[in-house]
Amino acid sequence: MCNGTTCLYNVNYGDGSSTSGALSQETLTFSSSRKFSSFPFGCGTTNLGDFGSVDGLLGLGRGQLSLASQTASSFDGTFSYCLPSHNMTRPGFLSIGAAPDIGKVQYTAMIKKPQYPSFYFVELVSIDIGGYVLPVPPSVFTSKGTLLDSGTTFTYIPAQAYNLLRDRFKFTMKGYKPAPPFQDLDTCYDFSGQSVIFQPGMSFKFSDGAVFDIDIFGVMIYPYVDHPAIGCFAFASSDPTDQFSIIGNTQQRSAEVIYDVVAEKIGFVPLSC
């Protein structure tokens, strides 16, 4: 929306956070031979959500004004990132352009939803926790779809699946002291005095057979700086009014996530950072 010489924008994200402000333009430079003149971007004046101390957001969605869309013609419509795990043994990265051909990529189809043109959807059908597959039909996930979102911190799934997942996680963690909930996370523990923590492995399975193994540091989150021994299960029940499940950035940690918009597929490479 434009008012005189000022154009305003408003963007809403999958977890309910948002940013709004004025549109501006500048030359975006990747290298001496890769420049994009009159590159539009937003100058946020009202930012709502759990952004921590971050000053800005890099748009990688499918919308026309995202960095990924505006540079697609020069970078083959492909980008990838790796978000570092909790222990930060290796740095993360963002790569713009075609990913190298490595055989261990698990690719799944990128699903389009016309009503949500900026989002990347995948077809999640089951979740494995410690070798136990949740006994819920695939339709619990596929009826509304699953959004893969680097801007949402936790993973949100329908209550029917979440209740079973949480109960199974609690069963495997019954030897640890419970702690109060944190925000949307209702299952937390106090690991004070524990030198080693045993927790179950987890994976997502998609309709075309692709499997995404979650890093051990993607199962729990440690939200308190002043109480680092408090850990919470980084999954929550989605709001009944929500239109889809969300795979958040905590579960994506240490994996390279490859977005090939041209081929309409998303790849996962575990333990990449």
Residue 137: is its pLDDT beyond 80?
A: yes
Residue 53: pLDDT band by 50, 70, 90 thresholds?
Answer: low
Q: What is the mean pLDDT of the chain?
A: 89
Kind and range of the H or E run holding 170: helix 159-172
Sign of CA dihedral 27, 28, 30, 35: negative
In 10 A of CB 15, how many CB atoms? 19
Is 24 in a helix, a strand, or coil? strand
Summarize pLDDT for 74-102 with one digit per residue, the tens.
888 899 999 998 766 778 999 988 776 66
CA distance 208 to 109: 8
Task: Report the CATH fold assignment for 100-269.
Answer: Cathepsin D, subunit A; domain 1 (2.40.70)
pLDDT at 50 over 70: no
Please determine, for residue 14, whether its predicted confidence score (pLDDT) is greater than 80. Answer: no
Enumerate residues 6+ apart whose C-beta is below 8 A from 165: 127, 129, 134, 157, 235
Per-residue pLDDT for 51 more than 70?
no
% of the chain exceeding 90 in pLDDT: 53
Q: Report residue 118's pLDDT band, with 50, 70 and 90 as the boundaries.
A: confident
N-term to C-term CA, the chain: 40
